[in-house]
Structure formats: C-alpha cells, structure tokens
C-alpha cells in the first residue's frame, strides 16, 4: 500500500520528521514533485541531516526514488549523496528517467526574473534553485530529462536547441551580457554537455535511473510499503495555492499520482496524511491573514498585512521553533494557525489523517489563537477564496485558546496522548473536529522520539 505525506500549509510543516517516524515500516520512499527547493531536517542516531533532494528515508537504508514529477539538479544530488557517504551512510537513490534536469541556466534565469520582478514589488521570494524555469521548460516541451543524460546524441541535440534560446532571453529580453554573468558557462553548450554527460555516466555506472511508475508498481505488487513524500505545501501548490506566490509543482495529493506514475486509484486507495504545523510559517512573499508581526519578510504588495502587530510574539515563536529556512537560512514569517487554509487543504488532498507538529513551541504562551473563519466583503468564509487578491483582503476571525505549560516532552511522547496538557488536547481536538480528520501523530519536539503516535498508517 501507499502512504502519501502532504504539507497542508506553506511548507516546512515537519514533513521530513513524519516520513521518518513512519519510515520503519517502509520499503521505498518516493518524492513526487519539487527539487532542491525543499529542505528537510531529519535527526538520526543523534546526528542531524539536512536534505533537499535525497528522500529522507534513504538515510535509514530505504530505497529513495525521485519521481518523474521532480526536477533534479545533479550537482546538488551528488553533493548530498557524497556528503552522506562521507558520514558513513550508503543511500540507495533511484531517479526517474522522466524527471527533468535543472541546468545551471535555470538558476541564472530564476535569479534574473526575481530581480526584475522586485523592481515592481512582485518577486515571489523563490529559493533561487531554478525550479520555476525548469518546470517552464518542461511545459514548453524543451526540457532536458534525466534519461537524456544517458544518450550523448540526444543530450547534445536538446542543448543545441534550448541554450541559444536562453541566451537570447538573457541578452535580448533582459538586456544582459552573458559574458558578464557570474558563470558564463551556464549558457555554453559544450561546457554543459561535458558536465551533464558526466552526470549521465555516473547515473548509469551506479544504476540509478528507473522508470518510476513501473518500479513503484512492481514494488507494490510485491507487497512492499511505499511512502510518497511531498515537498512544499498546499498553499504554494501551483494550482491550489496562492498564485503567483507559489512553487511550480503540485505538492497536493493529485501530484503524487502524476509525479510517480502510480494511478490515482493506487494513491487514493492508501492513506493521505496532511502535515500541520500548530502555527504558520512562510518564507517568501504573499499574503498571510493570520500573520504576526510583519517586519521580517515584508510582503511585496501586501505591506498592510499584520504590520508590526505582535512583533514580539512572532520573534518568540520564531526563536523557540528555530524558524529559519533549511535551504536559504531566511527567517520565516510567523502567524497563527489558519483553519480556512486547512479546510481547503483537507478538501483538495482528501486527508485520511493529519499529523500536528510543534505543539511544544507554543507551550508557555498565555493564550494561543487561531483564525477560525475569514470575513471578506462582509461575508463569513469557512475556506480560502480562489484569488490571492481576495485572500489578501480576508480578515481572520480569531478564536482564542488557553495556553499550555512547558512539559517534559520526551516523557509526554513516551506516555502517549493522555499525558498531553489538557489545554493542548483541547487545541488538537478542535483541529480534528473542524477538519473531521483524526490526528495520527502529534509532534512535541524535533527529535525522532518526540512524537505522540496514535496511528500506524501501514
Ligand atoms: P519539512 O520541510 O516539512 O520537512 O520541515 P523542515 O524540516 O523544513 O522544518 C521543520 C523543522 O521543525 C525541523 O527543524 C524539524 O526538526 C522541526 N520539527 C519537526 N517537528 C517538530 C515538533 O513537533 N516540535 C519542534 N520543536 N520541532 C519540530
Ligand atoms: P519544504 O519541502 C517552504 C517557497 C519559496 C517561495 C516559493 C517559490 O522544505 O517544505 P521556488 O524556489 O520553489 O520557486 O519558490 O515557494 N518554497 C518553500 N517554502 N518550504 C519549502 O519546501 C519551499 N519550497 C519553496 O520560499 O516563496
Ligand atoms: Mg523544509
């Protein structure tokens, strides 16, 4: 069977930790979208690992697959694999031949477009990893796929088509001189061919490429347990998120089918677990109706959002939760939990269960608030509107909960749900009731053991 892990908010909900928690019963972990924009922190035998491409389970000896829906930067991938090997691990990673390759010019174009957009306050605040430009080329049918790296003739043909176009974009659209770029080789066919053909040889030598759909289906037919690991989150989904402040893929559960080659029936026949952070964080731009503070990560075009209000509280939660980006180190914006957002995410992906993380971070506050509904143009909304402009005008109707005290969280996790402070239980039960979805796991700390496990999905 499959268990699909989906971020229910804006990324960084602690997906990696939950993938890891249920990892013991898993044979294969597959990513279905995104690339090295993702950042997961996983603690294994007291060691912390920060991974952006290698699926978290691979550090625990499981087979890790990067599905066809992913965009793969081989530089990052091999850096991560080499680093893990230096630390004594031997990750088994397979890559879909259909996955698209992030080439150096995709990063260059990501940077240029963000810069140009920033002149009119429209930048997305991307991770700069070239994610958007790579998916653009995929949709434009001019991308380079992992399978192409294995065939020198195909690789050269693809590069000879696409690179001159990208040079023209840099020079004629943006008016820049390629020779003035930090890495002019990013747009040099021969240099690209040489480097990426080498990656292709390594993929081949280490037998890393697979037909992901066939590989995963065979594993399921053999009775293996497959986990589908989403990166990012629902509100930065290109279709269901707050466009244009989104990533360029589908982190929602539908993406798990298209991004692996498993059928929707297979994915839907398994469990789909929504990962919920007990409050909100956001890196990058875009509105956030329940935002606290607003000085960090000002939102272009939405400067009125939460300006200055509760700045201290935002700083407190940011520090307690260590809310700085895994990939970019950027301080994350902070807000209260947003129920209209979660109702939307639950509907889009059909969560069969949720995991609520970071309850420990809120401990010690007198009062914990949530956005229960929105008011938009005098009307009460229980879910998110479809346009970002409308969302930016939504005012959160806040509900307040009594806070809960600090506790020995490891002991709480060991003892189980009953040991959770009463007020924290009331908070959890409110979320379960509103989403009509049971909490399978409750995170009370970053460590592997610091989770209350109520349900084993496999
Ligand atoms: P992901 O991108 O969704 O996998 O999440 P990240 O790894 O980027 O961010 C989550 C961070 O919170 C990591 O540093 C985790 O170790 C940490 N974390 C996860 N769950 C909990 C929790 O319940 N409590 C605390 N305090 N930290 C947690
Ligand atoms: P994980 O998997 C949080 C955000 C960026 C930006 C927008 C587009 O760790 O949860 P991109 O580089 O993808 O084109 O950036 O999406 N973003 C994330 N935010 N967690 C992530 O991944 C993210 N990946 C991208 O900050 O706002
Ligand atoms: Mg992350």
* Three-point CA angle 241, 244, 247, nearest 5°: 65
Choose the catalytic residue: 12, 36, 137, 338: 12
Q: Does the beta carbon of 236 lie inside 6 Å of ligand 2?
A: yes
Q: Does the beta carbon of 412 lie inside 6 Å of ligand 2?
A: no
On whether the CB atoms of residues 43 and 77 are closer than 8 A, the answer is: no
Choose the catalytic residue: 20, 36, 40, 137: 40
Ligand 2 centroid to Cα of residue 11, in Å, is 7
Name the closest-CA residue to atom 13, ligand 1.
Answer: 41
Ligand 2 centroid to Cα of residue 271, in Å, is 24
Is 360 annotated as contributing to ligand binding? yes
Is 100 annotated as contributing to ligand binding? no
Name the closest-CA residue to atom 23, ligand 2.
Answer: 232
Is 40 annotated as contributing to ligand binding? yes
Q: Does the beta carbon of 126 lie inside 6 Å of ligand 2?
A: yes
Ligand 3 centroid to Cα of residue 327, in Å, is 7
Ligand lying nearest the CA atom of residue 130: 2
List the helix and strand counts (H, then E) for the chain: 15, 21
On whether the CB atoms of residues 362 and 368 are closer than 8 A, the answer is: yes
Q: Does the beta carbon of 349 lie inside 6 Å of ligand 1?
A: no
Q: Does the beta carbon of 12 lie inside 6 Å of ligand 1?
A: yes
- Alpha-carbon distance of 185 to 208, in angstroms, equals 27
Active site residue 138: yes
Active site residue 436: no
DSSP 393: H
Ligand 1 centroid to Cα of residue 446, in Å, is 6
Nearest to 456 by CA among 359, 347, 355: 355
Ligand 2 centroid to Cα of residue 108, in Å, is 17
The two three-digit tokens of residue 128, written as one number: 């700069």
On whether the CB atoms of residues 285 and 300 are closer than 8 A, the answer is: yes
> In the beta sheet, which residues pair with residue 43?
48
Q: What is the pLDDT along the chain (458 residues), one digit of tens a residue?
A: 999 999 999 999 999 889 989 989 999 999 999 999 998 887 778 888 889 999 888 888 999 999 999 999 999 999 999 999 999 999 999 999 999 999 999 999 999 999 999 999 999 999 999 999 999 999 999 999 999 999 999 999 999 999 999 999 999 999 999 999 999 999 999 999 999 999 999 999 999 999 999 999 999 999 999 999 999 999 999 999 999 999 999 999 999 999 999 999 999 999 999 999 999 999 888 999 999 975 444 444 344 444 455 888 999 999 999 999 877 788 899 999 999 999 999 999 999 999 999 999 999 999 999 999 999 999 999 999 999 999 999 999 999 999 999 999 999 999 999 999 999 999 999 999 999 999 999 999 998 889 999 999 99
Name the closest-CA residue to atom 15, ligand 1.
Answer: 446
Ligand 2 centroid to Cα of residue 404, in Å, is 31
The two three-digit tokens of residue 179, written as one number: 């020779």
Active site residue 372: no
CA distances from 103 to 94, 297, 422 (A): 19, 28, 52
Nearest atom (ligand 1) to Cα of 325 = 8
Q: Which of 31, 37, 128, 358 to mutate to test the pocket of ligand 2 (most atoms within 8 A of CB)?
A: 37
- Alpha-carbon distance of 69 to 214, in angstroms, equals 14
DSSP 165: H
Is 255 annotated as contributing to ligand binding? no
Full DSSP string of 40-90:
EEEEETTEEEEESSS-GGGGGT-EEEE-TTBEE-HHHHHHHHHHHHHTT--
pTM of the model: 0.96
């Amino acid at each position: 069977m499959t268990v699909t892990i989906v971020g229910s908010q804006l990324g960084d909900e602690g997906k990696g930790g939950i993938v890891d928690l249920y990892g013991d019963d898993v044979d294969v972990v597959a990513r279905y979208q995104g690339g090295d924009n993702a950042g997961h922190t996983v603690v294994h035998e007291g060691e912390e690992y920060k991974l952006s491409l290698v699926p978290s389970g691979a550090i625990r000896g499981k087979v890790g697959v990067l599905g066809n829906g992913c965009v793969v930067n081989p530089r990052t991938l091999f850096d991560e694999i080499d680093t893990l090997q230096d630390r004594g691990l031997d990750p088994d990673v397979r890559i879909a031949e259909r996955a698209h390759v992030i080439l150096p010019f995709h990063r260059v174009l990501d940077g240029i477009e963000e810069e140009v957009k920033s002149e009119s306050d429209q930048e997305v605040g991307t991770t700069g990893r070239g994610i958007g430009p790579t998916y653009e080329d995929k949709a434009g049918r001019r991308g380079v796929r992992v399978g192409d790296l294995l065939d020198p003739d195909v690789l050269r043909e693809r590069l000879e088509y696409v690179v001159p176009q990208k040079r023209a974009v840099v020079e004629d659209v943006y008016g820049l001189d390629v020779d003035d770029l930090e890495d002019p080789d990013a747009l040099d066919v021969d240099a690209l061919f040489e480097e990426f053909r080498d990656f292709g040889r390594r993929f081949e030598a280490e037998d890393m490429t697979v037909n992901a759909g066939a590989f995963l289906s065979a594993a399921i037919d053999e009775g293996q347990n497959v986990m589908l690991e989403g990166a990012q989150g629902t509100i930065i989904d290109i279709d269901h998120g707050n466009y244009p402040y989104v990533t360029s893929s589908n982190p929602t559960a539908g993406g798990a089918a298209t991004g692996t080659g498993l059928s929707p029936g297979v994915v839907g026949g398994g469990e789909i677990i929504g990962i919920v952070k007990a409050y909100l964080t956001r890196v990058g731009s875009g509105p956030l109706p329940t935002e606290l503070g607003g000085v960090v990560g000002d939102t272009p075009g939405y400067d009125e959002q939460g300006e200055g209000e509760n700045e201290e509280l935002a700083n407190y939660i940011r520090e307690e939760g260590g809310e700085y980006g895994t990939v970019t180190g950027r301080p994350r914006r902070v807000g209260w939990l947003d129920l209209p957002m979660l109702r939307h995410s639950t509907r889009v992906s059909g969560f069969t269960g949720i995991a609520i993380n970071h309850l420990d971070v809120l401990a010690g506050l007198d009062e914990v608030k949530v956005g229960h509904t929105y008011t938009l143009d005098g009307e009460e909304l229980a879910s998110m509107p479809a346009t970002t402009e409308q969302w930016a005008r939504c005012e959160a109707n806040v509900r307040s909960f009594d806070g809960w005290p600090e506790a020995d969280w490891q002991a709480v996790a060991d003892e189980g749900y009953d040991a959770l402070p009463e007020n924290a239980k009331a908070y959890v039960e409110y979320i379960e009731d509103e989403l009509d979805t049971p909490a399978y796991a409750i995170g009370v700390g970053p460590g592997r053991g610091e989770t209350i496990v109520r349900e084993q999905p496999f």
